[in-house]
Chains A and B, each alone.
Chain A
């Protein structure tokens, strides 16, 4: 496939132009249309009553006082939903989850009842009048406790005799054991990737509008995957799918939080169906943090086998994941631990074995891929920490150890020991550029000099490989829906176009980027192309935006349909020029007769002719739709190097410099790509420095608001410097690989490696995230620090 691009003029604005974003005009004027901005005539408001305890049997719910309150229209309980067969709903991992609790509550914040009222203040007031009696049970707050106790969290499940959510493995155990038996040296690491929450600035919500006369259900949702959600609504609620229209309006950030279906969506829809009026539900920040999709929470053990030449010969990893009360990971169904088995990373060795087990706990369900392609973040973290541990034990520079073990450029496509076929890469080039940009040797000298003066400078490296763009239908589906994606392109008679996609932007700039792909392929100015997403009645089916899949899959669909229309345009041009189609040459925006550039027609002329003067025997119009089934995943990579300094007085740490070299293949809009990397680096910094959610022994969520769940502000966030190498994906029509998550995946290990490096001379070999001052103090002083 071609991956080189004819340059386009700034007026056309094809691939490689840092076009200013089309969507910004409405956002900078306060004219975005987010979920909470939607107001429909007669609309009612819903508020949810949540469990204050982590684990308890419900013995009584008395809503009479709430029902009697002025302005209250209805109080919905699980028992009422059971009458419609809606008390439980399927999760994206094939489990079932309570919509409103009937038997037990299984985590603090679980949905127990909902009030529908004429005003949001009244709805909230009325929830406090509902009396619920709880008979408390043992709260299970860690997966280790979960596997030891006799208390069953999921006692409602037939045949469930323990708290195990799933087990899974990948790789060749026997061959890997043999490699370890023959190893000259084995290094290991135990680490916890803590529970986190994507916390987009806009919380989740729904406005359900079911018309009792027609049965039409228009459901506005904060949804990253509106088509998949429509199908799930049809399956859960039993509504006929042609009558369900999901509209995902402007989304105020998603990061994986808006992939699952939440109980509030279902209750609002059921309430609208029964009451016959629109019902709005918008969760508060606390509700968002305590009940919707968390991320990570992997307890990881990793080992590397090494030979006498400092080459890695094998890897073992075992995972215990905290799943919360329901198994609600948003993973492709074939992969129970997501794509964690990409944990062999950027390194060339033949043997690996991964085993994973998930345990139920009394915490909110989720396991969403927070700015991450299905657990790739955890995978990247364990391997990039492990190679640092290995380099330190061997006394080798961590960049040299990596370079020695990297998969070489000429080895691509590369079959990994867990079965991935890496499409392309040049890891040495990214490493060399990053080292040069940050002056790696200069910082090593400053570090050594600083130690003489008691300064604690550390340099951390991470050379990540991602696997994104799910995915080929032979391997990838979510609840059975194959992970293709689609693009429908209509070129109008005046030469303007509309592009309709199955994916859904949450800030990534699709309205600009995808217009640029069409501009590149058809020569129509990107500013003349409107991009429409998020309305299931008016876009072709697709699986949505997460896991860095939009550019790899929908971007490819856009390029392919554009090329198909260009083929048709050639036929029309030949008709207009009275020439043979094979005698025409293309340059962005026009066809001309080979050797006679003055005999040309523009794409706009061709578009007009497609509706006014098309050749006999050809269908009129210049429109089409394409469903793209990717032949492989794409494998973005990069090297990040960060320099930190620990304050020996208060054990805080600051970033002196950070260089991020990313290779995401061809960059469609460099400005947007860099913005994505800035954002991802910040989230990586957040997790390394401050951002996590913990629970006390009673299962109370510590981190239920932005005062306790710390996300970085501008004041804590460092500046970053970016570099790039370009290794186009050989199988993607425009050579792009996806970039929205690379920095979140790659950077946490770089930060932690840097802090560990700063204090390694105290004997510190590991620090778990977030690297908080008391943990750092404890590690240096040999004291175990409690969370």
Chain B
């Protein structure tokens, strides 16, 4: 089936099997390997991307369901300069192995669109569908809050 998406601002079309998962479409068909696969059960969130601006787990959406819609992946965060959340993850040591990081940043950036000054609890709830095995989450929470402050203009 023909699937056409706008991904990180660019239109892309591919002829794919109806059963192809969106994450495989993004990784194998479009070659954007920043979106990762960490489980089979929609548990880990490593595959999180934005579909029409909302975070979804792309392992549990078919590519055909994204037809005609807009996708944003980690490769689309940077707009000339790094997105504040990218800078904040580095500055706050919010990543170690980096495997969960794209999903965490996609969820975090989406949260900050709604709420640029989230509390510790609000951040923890927002990222509770994303598993990190390295950091213990404290610095991820800190990074997302710091990015919010930077987006408000309060960050250094």
Binding site for B on A (CB under 8 A): 20-21, 23-34, 36-37, 39, 120-121, 199-203, 250-253, 255, 284-286, 506-509, 671-672, 674-675, 678-683, 705-707, 711, 713-715, 717, 719-720
Q: How far is the CA of A434 from the CA of B139 in the complex (A)?
A: 22
Interface: B35 (CB within 8 A)? yes
Interface residues of B in 1-48 (CB under 8 A from A): 17, 19-20, 24, 27-28, 32-41, 43-44, 46
Interface: B112 (CB within 8 A)? no
* Distance (whole angstroms) from the CB of A123 to the closest CB of chain B: 13
Evaluate whether A32 and B34 lie within 8 angstroms (CB atoms) in the complex, with A679-B135, A706-B44, A717-B136 already known: yes
Chain B window 121-139, contacts with chain A (Cβ cutoff 8 Å), 1 for yes, 0 for no:
0011101111111111111
Contacts of A29 in B (CB 8 A): 34, 74-75, 77-78, 82, 86
**Residue in A21, A705, A714 whose beta carbon sits within 8 Å of that of B123 in the complex:** A714
* Distance (whole angstroms) from the CB of B135 to the closest CB of chain A: 6
Inter-subunit contact B33/A20 (CB<8 Å)? no
Interface: B93 (CB within 8 A)? yes
Chain B window 90-107, contacts with chain A (Cβ cutoff 8 Å), 1 for yes, 0 for no:
110101111111100100
Evaluate whether A23 and B128 lie within 8 angstroms (CB atoms) in the complex, with A28-B105, A30-B74 already known: no
Q: Name the residue of chain A whose CB is nearest to the CB of B35.
A: A30
Q: Name the residue of chain A whose CB is nearest to the CB of B19.
A: A121
Interface: B58 (CB within 8 A)? no
Q: How far is the CA of A80 from the CA of B19 in the complex (A)?
A: 33
In the A-B complex, list the 9 residue pairs whose CB atoms are closest, starting with the nearest: A30-B34, A507-B97, A27-B98, A252-B99, A30-B74, A678-B136, A706-B43, A682-B136, A507-B96
Inter-subunit contact B97/A253 (CB<8 Å)? yes
Q: How far is the CA of A675 from the CA of B37 in the complex (A)?
A: 24
* Distance (whole angstroms) from the CB of A544 to the closest CB of chain B: 16
Inter-subunit contact B131/A713 (CB<8 Å)? yes
What are 14 A-B contacts defined by CB distance under 8 Å?
A: A29-B78, A29-B86, A30-B32, A30-B74, A37-B33, A201-B46, A250-B98, A682-B136, A682-B137, A705-B40, A711-B131, A714-B132, A714-B137, A717-B124
* Distance (whole angstroms) from the CB of A722 to the closest CB of chain B: 10
Q: How far is the CA of A768 from the CA of B129 in the complex (A)?
A: 28
Inter-subunit contact B93/A675 (CB<8 Å)? yes
Q: How far is the CA of A507 from the CA of B34 in the complex (A)?
A: 16
Contacts of B44 in A (CB 8 A): 201, 285, 706
Q: How far is the CA of A675 from the CA of B142 in the complex (A)?
A: 12
Inter-subunit contact B40/A284 (CB<8 Å)? yes
Inter-subunit contact B98/A285 (CB<8 Å)? no
Inter-subunit contact B99/A706 (CB<8 Å)? no
Inter-subunit contact A202/B97 (CB<8 Å)? yes
Q: Name the residue of chain A whose CB is nearest to the CB of B120.
A: A719
Interface: B141 (CB within 8 A)? yes
Inter-subunit contact B33/A285 (CB<8 Å)? no
Q: Name the residue of chain A whose CB is nearest to the CB of B34.
A: A30
Contacts of A678 in B (CB 8 A): 135-139
Interface: B71 (CB within 8 A)? no
**Residue in B27, B98, B123, B133 whose beta carbon sits within 8 Å of that of A32 in the complex:** B98
Inter-subunit contact B97/A21 (CB<8 Å)? no
Inter-subunit contact A706/B131 (CB<8 Å)? yes
Q: Name the residue of chain A whose CB is nearest to the CB of B138.
A: A678
Q: How far is the CA of A675 from the CA of B135 in the complex (A)?
A: 6
Inter-subunit contact A507/B98 (CB<8 Å)? yes
Q: How far is the CA of A713 from the CA of B123 in the complex (A)?
A: 12
Q: How far is the CA of A767 from the CA of B128 in the complex (A)?
A: 28
Evaluate whether A28 and B89 lie within 8 angstroms (CB atoms) in the complex, with A255-B133, A713-B130 already known: yes
Evaluate whether A200 and B82 lie within 8 angstroms (CB atoms) in the complex, with A24-B95, A28-B90, A675-B96 already known: no
Contacts of A26 in B (CB 8 A): 98
Q: Name the residue of chain A whose CB is nearest to the CB of B90.
A: A24
Contacts of A509 in B (CB 8 A): 96
Interface: B140 (CB within 8 A)? yes
Inter-subunit contact A253/B133 (CB<8 Å)? yes
Q: Name the residue of chain A whose CB is nearest to the CB of B37.
A: A36
**Residue in B78, B97, B123 whose beta carbon sits within 8 Å of that of A252 in the complex:** B97
Interface: B73 (CB within 8 A)? yes
Inter-subunit contact B78/A21 (CB<8 Å)? no
